[in-house]
Structure 1
Amino acid sequence: MKDSITSFIEKYFLHFNALTLSEAAKAYKHHIKNDGKMMITLAGAMSTAELGKILAEMIRKDKVHIISCTGANLEEDITNLIAHSHYKKISNYRDLTPNEEKNFLKKGFNRVTDTCIPEDKSFKFLQKHILNIWKRAKEKSERYFPHEYIYQLLLENILEPYYDINSKDSWVLAAAKKNLPMVVPGWEDSTIGNIFASYCMKKLFSPILVKNGIEYMIYLAKWYQKESVKNKIGFFQIGGGISGDFPICVVPMLSQDIGWIPTPYWAYFCQISDSTTSYGSYSGAIPNEKITWGKLDKDTPKFIIESDATIVAPLIFAYILDM
């Protein structure tokens, strides 16, 4: 069968979640073709799932204009870049016993579903190099956002001798090369964020060296004010959690708390979710609920695809890229 992914989706994805996927992909494409801009939010372990293989191409082809991600996704794309061959794939991860899990820890492996990340080759190695970037900022009395420190590390080619995969498969490297706007809410709960906190407790640094979440919200608000005057802004959410919860609130914040009228609503919304719509789960809330919070309008194109993001996101991105 020689059909492209795009034609395959149009031919066979005709009902239920498959149809929603197809419609969401077409609407994303339409949004971009009509001079819209798109935010992508990354939750879960998308970087360890190697979403960078296609997300990087989306960034290079200007199909993504701003990213919100967890601190884990920011750093794990880089650890995958420098240590991938040292990762351990665990195909039977559902059958592991507590003793087997403990043995992974003793051997220096941190498990993310079916993948074990070697701490010494990844986080500890990254720690050594990011420490020098932080020290330099301290000496110059400068302060940056978490992603800006990572951008410096990449753009100065400090890690390039250690690349362990094709560098085109790193979405953070692609973002750095374009100086793509980014917000990383809750960065302090990531491994590198924990390490920075430990340095602060040891009095090596002051917390002020890294710009914080409130500053990220202000940065995002100013970006939205500037860009939404010229372009409609869409919201493509992969998973749930803070990477999506944080940035979507910028619209009601601008309209209700700043009084910036009229604040354009998010002009497109799609979420890939495996969260159950019950028990007050915001991650599992249907898009219409967001109308009541002033985030989406009643006519905003809205999609929720209840499936595995590691399957759905590459398909949608391939469709958008005409693959």
Structure 2
Amino acid sequence: MKDSPITSFIKKYFLHFNALTLSEAAKAYKYHIQNDGKMMVTLAGAMSTAELGKILSEMIRKDKIHIISCTGANLEEDLLNLIAHSHYKKIPNYRDLTPGEEEDFLKKGYYRVTDTCIPEEQAFKKLQKHILKIWTRAQEKSERYFPHEYIYQLLLENILKPYYDIDSEDSWVLAAAKKNIPIIVPGWEDSTIGNIFSSYCMKKIFQPFLVKNGIEYMIFLAKWYQKESVKHKIGFFQIGGGISGDFPICVVPMLSQDIGFHSTPFWSYFCQISDSTTSYGSYSGAIPNEKITWGKLDKDTPKFIIESDATIVAPLIFAYILNM
């Protein structure tokens, strides 16, 4: 297959330092998939509001991603973008905003994420109204699901379809729902919709039991890893730091050390895109070799850390892998 313009550009010009690491990480990711490997991608930060779904969704459709771990914010913000994008406000001069101007956004119902303001009424309130019905239905049937499973119900039953405000092909959560790939959402209660669910519990409308929790996510992930690692090598592609990466990578030492399944394979590929400075005690900034001592990676695991902006780096790597 002939190289795409982006692939050719990376091969010709990305020859040293962070650029070389990007090129080598992309090449190793592609090799991993071509050799029947599976890949977990983890999403921290505000990748959904950064519209990474435009290319992440294609990675899912083309079977380059097989499981995702993300924050609750990334899970919901992809949907918010799907149903309310035209109501968002772009703030190119966000660095110049005064505290008073920030307060004005709050009063007008806009929540800022760097250069983008998400509208409360058209986004959060709309999603809240429909997820409430899904939670209520589960309660009436004495059923309980993971956070992402409730979202999958909203999407696969076309409940949100009348509100689609972008090309639905650009929603990574919708692409994941259609493929029914697992999504791990550690710390979901930290998200806006998680906060809303907590408020309903405090008002005695629901019980916390209605939404499966983080321990159950870890057990779910452990069973998935045990099943898949028998047939495939499994890689780990981490965008940013935080709980979306720290939580799932621990499944390997948990299985091998805490349960005693000593034959559990290490993660077979590791790459992290991070702008976190390597420093004393930093999890997000820890170099990959530190993970060897914790039983997460092997000394021979291909390891890459790209110290740059994920909104620039991830689309380039994905385009290389897709040969777009």
Q: TM-score range by the shorter chain?
A: over 0.9
Query: Which residue identity does 1:55 align to in structure 2?
Result: L
Query: Which residue identity does 2:272 align to in structure 1?
Result: Q
Shift of 1:261: 2.1
Partner residue, 2:71: 70
Query: Which residue identity does 1:204 align to in structure 2?
Result: I
Partner residue, 1:158: 159
Partners of 1:279 and 1:207 in 2: how far apart?
A: 37
1:26 maps onto 2:27 in alignment: yes
Partners of 1:203 and 1:167 in 2: how far apart?
A: 36
Partners of 1:22 and 1:185 in 2: how far apart?
A: 30
Q: Aligned to 1:38, what secondary structure does the other structure show?
A: strand
Query: Which residue identity does 2:9 align to in structure 1?
Result: F
Partners of 2:311 and 2:62 in 1: how far apart?
A: 21
Partners of 1:270 and 1:119 in 2: how far apart?
A: 35
Partner residue, 2:183: 182
Shift of 1:279: 2.7
Q: What CA deviation, in whole Å up to 9, does each residue of 1:272-300 have, x standing for no partner? A: 00000003110000000000000000000
Partners of 2:5 and 2:68 in 1: how far apart?
A: 28
1:317 maps onto 2:318 in alignment: yes
Partners of 2:137 and 2:179 in 1: how far apart?
A: 23
Shift of 1:182: 1.0
Partner residue, 1:124: 125
Partner residue, 1:209: 210
Partner residue, 1:137: 138
Partner residue, 1:304: 305
Partner residue, 2:101: 100
Partner residue, 1:292: 293
Q: What CA deviation, in whole Å up to 9, does each residue of 1:153-191 have, x standing for no partner? A: 000000001000000000000000011111000000100
Query: Which residue identity does 2:230 align to in structure 1?
Result: V
Query: Which residue identity does 1:220 align to in structure 2?
Result: L
Query: Which residue identity does 1:128 align to in structure 2?
Result: K
Q: What CA deviation, in whole Å up to 9, does each residue of 1:222-279 have, x standing for no partner? A: 0000000000000000000000000000000000001012110000000000000003
Q: Aligned to 1:287, what secondary structure does the other structure show?
A: coil
Partner residue, 2:282: 281
Partner residue, 1:196: 197
Q: Aligned to 1:236, what secondary structure does the other structure show?
A: strand
Partners of 1:59 and 1:123 in 2: how far apart?
A: 26
Q: With structure 2 as the length reference, what TM-score do the two structures score?
A: 0.99
Q: What CA deviation, in whole Å up to 9, does each residue of 1:280-321 have, x standing for no partner? A: 110000000000000000000000000000000000000000
Partner residue, 1:56: 57
RMSD: 0.8
Partners of 1:112 and 1:69 in 2: how far apart?
A: 17
Equivalences for residues 33-48 of structure 1 within 5 A: 33-48=34-49
Give me the identity figure in percent: 87
Shift of 1:3: 6.1
Q: What CA deviation, in whole Å up to 9, does each residue of 1:55-98 have, x standing for no partner? A: 00000000000000000000000000000000000000011110
Query: Which residue identity does 2:183 align to in structure 1?
Result: M
Partners of 1:119 and 1:259 in 2: how far apart?
A: 48
Partners of 2:268 and 2:127 in 1: how far apart?
A: 38
Query: Which residue identity does 2:91 align to in structure 1?
Result: I
